[in-house]
């Protein structure tokens, strides 16, 4: 389907990416129906929707079989359309079919947004025109028409499910740990969805793979692209790796390039890994690594990702609301020494908390649990960590503050999805930030 003109297109879901996709198709002459089962009052972006788009709101989706193309938003499960749709492309696939510049795409369970933004900043530091979009926040189709040398995309497993010809010139897989099993059903299905980022690459493309992660390393044998590995746990014959306070890159037969990480402001080994991955990716894209690494000096962490939001009672409060799975929470806990007061919980995604509980036992003095998964987390922590319950994020902050001593870290790192109590992880993190600010104001009051 090269031309959308006069085609009947069904867009499922009217979040940011859905509105963007509906407008994109309408502008190209498609007859677009945009559907969302939520009522109009629950949708915030309708004023941005092209007037030519027909809206079906507050009721069941139309039958996908009546349309030439279905464009599902990432949050719409495949079983809602796959058996009936003649063809299903997400916004990433639509973008790939019209974009004239090469794509550097990043996926993985954790660290995607930070690595995507680092790659964007590094390419710019090396003198290349670029912008990041996709799962990082800005809709992918917003890149259409921009004057770019490279497009940088963060792509989720949900977005990759709806790709067909998508071929990034540089594809990065950061790590693979169980996540979204409530949607994918098994780790194997989740891994296979992530691996679609590699499926259409050819010999002149590059796959940047984490060789510290066995599940990622195992994908290398099936790659048609040239594999450029990276790791933090030792040297490689070629690729990128961490050596003390430096990143070393050796690609091809040339000498290794050793570059200092002094400018990295982000804490935690996982962020050093993100920096190694980003530098490997931009080097694969042809950027000069010695120029690209200068981006670290001006790069600050993204909101809701190990974000220091305030102090009260001598304790540091840290917002890591983006940690929506146990693997991410493990990385967050390992960023701090012992004496953490941990706020966790939310909507369970069918994941195992055993490793997380073991890590918490060595670092967490007490845990304050919220949301639907509180009981499951409490069972995993039994006999290892003292546990309290809270009905809201505000109560959790109050209870954590009551437990904290000078020098402690109060860490929101939920290990769970947010939709049991919040719109998304951003709202959860924002509410945490506001509660911490209120606590600090009361402490400073005469």
**DSSP for 161-206?**
HT-SS---SEEEE-------HHHHSSHHHHHHHHHTTTTT--TTSE
Measured distance CA(356)–CA(359) in Å, rounded: 5
How far apart are alpha carbons 289 and 176 in whole angstroms?
26
Q: Could you tell me the CA-to-CA distances from 430 to 308, 400, 402, 415 in Å, in that order? A: 12, 17, 21, 17
Expressed in percent and rounded to 5, the helix, strand and coil fractions of the chain are 35, 20, 45
Q: Where are the beta strands (DSSP E) in 232-336?
A: 239-243, 246-250, 257-260, 307-312, 315-319
Of 23, 180, 210, 274, the active-site residue reads 180
Phi-psi region of 400 (alpha: psi -120 to 50; beta: other; left: phi over 0): alpha
Q: Is 286 exposed, middle or buried (0-12, 13-18, 19+ CB in 10 A)?
A: middle
Burial 166-184 (b: 16+ CB within 10 A, else e): bbbbbbbbbbbbbbbbebb
Whether 135 is catalytic: yes
Catalytic residue among 23, 110, 112, 194: 112
The residue from 23, 110, 135, 175 that is catalytic is 135
Residue 191, C-beta contacts closer than 8 angstroms, at least 6 positions apart: 176, 215
Active site residues: 112, 135, 180
């Amino acid at each position: 389907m090269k031309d959308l003109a006069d085609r009947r297109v069904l867009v499922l879901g009217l979040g940011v990416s859905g509105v963007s996709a509906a407008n994109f198709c309408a502008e190209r002459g498609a007859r677009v129906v945009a559907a969302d089962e939520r009522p109009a009052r629950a949708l915030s972006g309708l004023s941005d929707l092209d007037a030519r788009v027909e809206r079906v709101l507050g009721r069941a989706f139309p039958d996908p079989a009546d349309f030439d193309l279905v464009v599902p938003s990432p949050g719409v499960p495949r079983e809602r359309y796959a058996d009936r749709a003649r063809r299903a492309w997400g916004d990433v696939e639509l973008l790939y079919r019209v974009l004239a510049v090469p794509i550097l795409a990043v996926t993985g369970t954790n660290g995607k947004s930070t690595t995507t933004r680092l790659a964007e900043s590094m390419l710019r530091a090396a003198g290349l025109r670029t912008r990041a979009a996709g799962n990082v926040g800005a809709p992918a189709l917003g890149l259409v028409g921009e004057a770019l040398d490279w497009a940088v995309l963060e792509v989720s497993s949900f977005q990759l499910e709806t790709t067909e010809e998508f071929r990034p010139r540089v594809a990065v897989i950061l790590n693979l740990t169980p996540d979204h099993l409530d949607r994918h059903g098994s780790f194997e299905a989740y891994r296979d969805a992530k691996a679609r980022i590699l499926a259409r690459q050819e010999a002149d493309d590059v796959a940047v793979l984490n060789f510290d992660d066995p599940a990622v390393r195992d994908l290398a044998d099936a790659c048609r692209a040239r594999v450029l590995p990276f790791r933090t746990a030792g040297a490689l014959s070629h690729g990128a790796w961490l050596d003390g306070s430096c990143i070393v890159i050796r690609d091809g037969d040339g000498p290794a390039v050793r570059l200092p990480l002094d400018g990295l402001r982000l804490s935690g080994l996982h962020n050093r890994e993100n920096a190694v991955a980003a530098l490997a990716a931009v080097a694969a894209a042809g950027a000069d690594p010695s120029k690209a690494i200068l981006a670290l000096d001006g790069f600050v962490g993204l909101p809701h990702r190990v974000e220091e939001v305030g102090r009260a009672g001598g304790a540091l409060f840290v917002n890591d609301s983006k940690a929506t799975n146990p693997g991410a929470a493990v990385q967050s806990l390992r960023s701090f020494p012992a004496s953490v007061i941990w706020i966790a919980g939310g909507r369970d995604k069918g994941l195992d908390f055993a490793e997380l509980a073991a890590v918490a036992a060595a670092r967490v003095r007490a845990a304050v649990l919220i949301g639907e998964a509180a009981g499951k987390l409490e069972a995993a922590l039994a006999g290892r960590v003292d546990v309290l319950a809270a009905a809201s994020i505000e109560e959790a902050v109050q209870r954590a503050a009551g437990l904290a001593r000078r020098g402690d870290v109060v860490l929101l790192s939920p290990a769970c999805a947010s939709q049991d109590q919040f719109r998304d992880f951003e709202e959860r993190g924002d509410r945490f930030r506001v509660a911490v600010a209120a606590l600090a104001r009361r402490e400073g009051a005469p």
